[in-house]
Amino acid sequence: MPLTEPVPSKRVRDALIEGIADRIYPQRLYALEVSALARGRGLRAAKPQLWRFMATIAGHDVSCDVSEESSRRGPSMTSVSQGAHVAKARAAIRKAGALPEVKKKNFELRLLVIPALSVEAVWLKADDPANDLTIPYLTGGARLKAMQSCVAAKFLDAIHALAARSLAFDDSPRRLAGSRPY
């Protein structure tokens, strides 16, 4: 006998969507390639990758990533995450909103990820790149203090050596002596 799942009415589904929509916080996620860092390029070399929607649902921090539109298809949800990683990002965003500098100048809130280094930060983009601020929440071994705001130049200095080491590391496949080819 097949399992029959209940189907809520459209009004019930709409109520759920409306209730959640007011508690979802959209963020734009930018990725910075380690090769750009090693060449001395700044945060402005980061490229937009996707939208990250964050929420607290039933006491749990949750994020959903949605890809951009491409020529072949429209936006699509690519992942759902929960746990400490999402909680750290949300805490860094709250910290950013409370900074005295934010009350004095205009900043655009962005999330920054440097995948090759396992570094993620809140990036407060100012009109002048010299005034950009960051709050790293995943430091990936870089000499950064998690959840401490710093100017972008200091952030970049701290991760530059890590980027250079990452590029110098050769992880290409090799045959062991005496082994057969693949």
DSSP E strands in 11-114: the ranges are: 25-31, 47-57, 60-67, 77-82, 108-114
Each of the 182 residues of the chain gets a pLDDT tens digit; together they read 688 888 999 999 888 777 776 678 889 999 999 888 888 888 999 999 999 999 887 788 899 999 887 657 788 888 999 999 999 999 999 999 999 999 899 999 999 999 988 999 999 999 999 999 999 999 987 788 999 999 999 999 888 877 777 776 655 566 666 666 55
67 near 78, Cβ under 8 Å? Answer: yes
Position 123 scores a pLDDT of: 97
Eight-class DSSP state of 24 = -
Q: Give the whole-angstrom CA distance, residue 135 versus residue 92.
A: 6
147 near 89, Cβ under 8 Å? Answer: no
Position 135 scores a pLDDT of: 97
114 near 34, Cβ under 8 Å? Answer: yes
- List the chain domain ranges: 24-168
Query: pTM for the full model?
Result: 0.81
68 near 50, Cβ under 8 Å? Answer: yes
